[in-house]
Amino acid sequence: MFIPKNRKKTLYKDMRQYLGKIFHELASHKEVEILKGHLMQDHVHMCLSIPPKLAVSNIVGYMKGKSAIAVARMFGRQRNFTGQSLWARGYFVSTVGLDESIVRNYIRKQDATNAHYEQLSLDK
């Protein structure tokens, strides 16, 4: 999981579709498989299958860096993005073994979960 800089809700329509394609393309370059992924407006969840010969930090850094450059080239003039300002520093990673189905289900239901929490914050 990783987020746009300052947790801004910047991942909308065309950019979400474009990032989905870019992430799959980048993953294939490194022999990584995206088992499940979901792009929210303010964060990205991915369940990846990474070969043991590759470091997780290298793969995440590669995907964040190259995707930021691709977005800057495609949307830079429209939304004032540069390759250096799309993603925030850092990410969250957890290994998955027997709980893979639970993680996939969690990623799949992100839209509903996020809408539920936003509604709770509006009810006060």
Q: How far apart are CA 11 and CA 75, in angstroms?
A: 11
Domains in the chain, CATH or no CATH each: 5-122 (3.30.70.1290)
Q: What is the dihedral of CA 87, 92, 93, 99, to 10 degrees?
A: -120
Question: Which stretches of the chain drop beneath a pLDDT of 70?
Answer: 6-7, 77-84, 98, 111-124
CB atoms within 10 A of CB 86: 24
Is 106 catalytic? The answer is yes
What's the pTM?
0.72
The single residue of 12, 18, 106, 117 carrying the catalytic annotation is: 106
* Model pLDDT, residue 26: 96
